[in-house]
Structure 1
Amino acid sequence: MSELPAELSTGERIRILRERQGKTRLVLAGMVGRSEDWLKKIETGVRPLNSHALLLKLAMALHIDDLAHLTGPSAAAQSVSTGRPYHPASAAVWAALLERGTRPPVELGEGATAAGYGAEVDAGWKLWHRSPRQRTDVGALAPDLIRRGEALVRASEGTERRSALVALAAAYRLAQQVIAYIGPAEAVWMLGDRAMAAAADADDPAAMGAAAWNLANTMRAVGEMDGAMLLVTTAAERLRPHLADSPLHWRGLYGALQLHAAITEAKDGKDGAAWGRWDSADQIAKSLPAGYAELSTVFGRANVDLHAVSVATELRTTGRALSLAGEIDPDSIPSTERRTRLWVDVARSHQERGDTTAALHVMGIAFVISPETVTFTPQARNVAVDLLRTAPRALRQESVKLAEAVGVLNA
């Protein structure tokens, strides 16, 4: 940030930072609830930006921690809140990560095996997708899974160690899901790196693909679009030669990587590229048995259909998003979290079209399905904030109730 010339205007700074992060005007404008034309006028100096609230929203969308980076060095420094909500699981996972190398490994029970440990990690992933309070429920398990997995790897050799590494990589990824958006950024990145390292040590392409999927989510969340795309496309290319004769979950992970790329391209405003990636995932889904869902990413027919809604939502093609959502049976989605995110995307599209009443109603449905998904997911929190500000007087009480429940009343 410091290398931006002092003489640049606020609009010029916004444009440079936006372009560095690979965001289109349409995407960034949408993230702060404004039109592409509005942002163009701000960037080109045709219109002044005098709203402090909008400056803060732009800073958060551009992942800037000091408002002076937008307003110039002559302005007083002002920290920008991350808006990160608190959850006790964050501190517990962080503590488990910091213990490695500072405390003796935990004692493993007699007869501990990689297969048994892997089954426990798999059960954790199933709980993540089944529970409406996934961060609370899985957060209670994740620190112990990390400690025991690290101890098991140290105590194992040969094939057993390789299997333990694959399971430990999955445990790191599970913990990463738990603290995403709520934990220290350092902890989220550390979990992603450890998952990648464990998968690479095991020399398992599927484990590496799954770890890349998780880590790329983290990269995309901070605007590192190019890095996220590099991770998922490299991992997918590593898996592709094995698809014809690989286990089902290898194909499932390949499809999940394609969906990840589709969303990333859509966030960057690349319509054709986004739908091209989605088409690749769709072909993989058609090759899998009916009802199949990969364990951690829940890739399968329903998940591909859900991602079509997400792609259309990110591209701001709200009519298409709502039409696609209307064709999905929510009960077919084998994940409480993903089912909730479908309704959040529907609410975002209604809000984009100015239908506040419908958006508020749909957010209520989402909150009932999974309160923690709505409370701890940035897109859902943003919708709740926007509804609080835009709801008509007749729905003011309902918007305040939602904001209170999500914890954004004073946002």
Structure 2
Amino acid sequence: MDIPDDLSTGERIKLLRESRGMSRPILASLCGRSTDWLKKIETGERELRSHDLLLRLATALQVSDLSILTGGEPEVAQPVPLGRLAHPGLPAIWAAVMNRTLAPPAAAPVDVALLQGRADQTWRLWHTSERNRTEVGALLPDLIRDSEAATRTLDGPDRRAALIALSDIYRLTGQATAYIGPAELAWVVADRALTAAQQADDPAAIAAAAWNLGNILRETSYPEEALRVTTEAADLIRPHLDGAPDDWSGIYGALQLHSAVTCARDGRHGDAWRYWDAGNQIAKSLPAGYVHPSTVFGRANVDFHAVSVATDLHASRKALSLADDIDPDTMPSTERRARLWVEIARGHLQRGDTTAALHVMKLAYDIGAETVTYTPSARTVATDLWRKAPRALRSEAADLAAVVGVTTAS
């Protein structure tokens, strides 16, 4: 894009951020800094002198030359390593997604049931591994290529089943590459997941793909569009729930929780709790112990989301009270348990209790190191802890910031 020569560095950062549909909190967290810090940089209230932070901003904004941010002479190259938060598994995933062959694949026999079984097994790995991005990321390239080939070589009911598997795999790709890949990768995989589900004409697959697309929309500062997508998907699947498999109700409930968080982040108290209650009612209607295989919707996840909703609404007292009644071990997803502790840490920080926040953030990291390292809200908490921790805990806070990848430079 063309950037006027007379813009300051802060104005350039703001222009690039908004052009990418990225919120200020997301960009700040990707750089290991607070939202207030980024606001001061963008408005010129604070000067940006750190070369390391310039590189972090450029990387997060997918700018290939640092002079685009600094306004330096264009002939002086200042290359920037692309990618948001570097991860060794990302190049192979990028290649599998973006280098999709146009030539007809070899007509090798495909066992669709085996393909779906591989997808289901990889989803389980995502929820149970402490290094889920690394381990799942290693499996995704072959899964993407095999499922793409299956949809092009099969026909009839087998092709429909292959399309559902392909949608599942692209949804998982979106989860595994969130915050570590460029924005265009997120949009491509979200669109392909929804397209495959629509081609299969399967309401549950469409609803699950919409849930995934809603995540992308919400995280890129399109809350109204996110809410529209999830509510429309819920309306689509609702008439089919009677007599349908439990997983159809599971994805319907997950859509309700998604809408609850979206409304909570927008400060809409009544709507947030109304959607949460709708999800709660669905959980009550399902068998005890039920867990949706990919969204992990179930009794535990509904309770976990109550903490998230309260925290996003800045009702920290309620959030911590709700958390006191939760047994984290009832949640089979390691990734989701780690995120619960991050939410609890956010609640403690809202109340000014940095000691408790630091304690539970260390628990979160021990449970799911990669979840904490690559989730913006967790990185924001780690940054705030390093800035606000009392002197006696500053060393521990700095250690946490270091392992999460947050710079502690002033």
For Structure 1 versus Structure 2, the TM-score category normalised by the shorter chain is 0.7 to 0.9
Mapped partners of 2:86, 2:272: distance in 1: 33
Change (3 A) 1:103 1:138: farther
Change (3 A) 1:312 1:211: same
> Which amino acid counterpart does residue 51 of structure 1 have in structure 2?
R
Mapped partners of 1:287, 1:256: distance in 2: 14
Mapped partners of 1:387, 1:81: distance in 2: 28
> Which amino acid counterpart does residue 359 of structure 2 have in structure 1?
H
- 1:118 and 2:132 correspond: no
Shift of 1:98: 2.1
TM-score (norm 1): 0.83
Residue 190 of structure 1: aligned partner: 188
Shift of 1:346: 0.5
> Which amino acid counterpart does residue 231 of structure 1 have in structure 2?
V
Mapped partners of 1:77, 1:203: distance in 2: 50
Residues 345 and 381, structure 2, Cα contact 8 Å, conserved in 1: yes
Residues 163 and 199, structure 2, Cα contact 8 Å, conserved in 1: yes
Shift of 1:50: 2.1
Residue 388 of structure 1: aligned partner: 386
Change (3 A) 1:64 1:86: closer
In the TM superposition, what whole-angstrom CA distance separates every residue of 1:227-270 from its partner, at most 9, and x where no partner exists? 11111111000011112221100000000001000000011111
Residue 141 of structure 2: aligned partner: 143
Mapped partners of 2:175, 2:142: distance in 1: 15
Within 5 A, what are the aligned runs for 1:204-219?
204-219=202-217
After TM superposition, what 4+ stretches of structure 1 lie above 6 angstroms from structure 2?
21-25, 63-66, 78-83
Residue 131 of structure 1: aligned partner: 129
Residues 89 and 178, structure 1, Cα contact 8 Å, conserved in 2: no
Within 5 A, what are the aligned runs for 1:162-241?
162-241=160-239
Change (3 A) 1:24 1:118: closer
> Which amino acid counterpart does residue 100 of structure 2 have in structure 1?
R
Residue 271 of structure 2: aligned partner: 273
SS in 2 for 1:245: coil
User: Sequence identity, in percent?
Assistant: 52
Mapped partners of 2:323, 2:81: distance in 1: 33
Mapped partners of 2:408, 2:106: distance in 1: 43
Residue 94 of structure 1: aligned partner: 94
Mapped partners of 2:95, 2:2: distance in 1: 33
Residues 129 and 335, structure 1, Cα contact 8 Å, conserved in 2: yes
SS in 1 for 2:289: coil
Residues 135 and 372, structure 1, Cα contact 8 Å, conserved in 2: yes
Q: Report how many aligned residue pairs link the two structures.
A: 380
Residues 351 and 359, structure 1, Cα contact 8 Å, conserved in 2: yes
- Which segment is superposed worse, 331-340 or 349-358? 349-358
Residue 160 of structure 1: aligned partner: 158
Change (3 A) 1:288 1:392: same
Shift of 1:103: 5.8
Mapped partners of 2:294, 2:366: distance in 1: 23
SS in 1 for 2:241: helix
Mapped partners of 2:263, 2:23: distance in 1: 10
Residues 34 and 380, structure 2, Cα contact 8 Å, conserved in 1: no
Mapped partners of 1:313, 1:33: distance in 2: 17
> Which amino acid counterpart does residue 115 of structure 1 have in structure 2?
A
Residue 72 of structure 1: aligned partner: none
Residues 23 and 267, structure 1, Cα contact 8 Å, conserved in 2: no
Mapped partners of 1:296, 1:211: distance in 2: 11
Shift of 1:186: 1.0
Mapped partners of 1:375, 1:152: distance in 2: 35
Q: Structure 1: any 5+ residue segments left out of the alignment?
A: 43-47, 67-74
Residues 62 and 84, structure 2, Cα contact 8 Å, conserved in 1: no
Mapped partners of 1:393, 1:304: distance in 2: 37
- 1:376 and 2:364 correspond: no
Residue 46 of structure 2: aligned partner: 51
Shift of 1:101: 2.6
Shift of 1:300: 0.3
Residues 106 and 148, structure 1, Cα contact 8 Å, conserved in 2: no
Residues 356 and 391, structure 1, Cα contact 8 Å, conserved in 2: yes
Residues 89 and 179, structure 1, Cα contact 8 Å, conserved in 2: no
CA root-mean-square deviation: 3.6
Residues 22 and 268, structure 1, Cα contact 8 Å, conserved in 2: no
SS in 2 for 1:51: coil
Residues 84 and 182, structure 2, Cα contact 8 Å, conserved in 1: no
Change (3 A) 1:410 1:24: closer
Within 5 A, what are the aligned runs for 1:246-265?
246-265=244-263
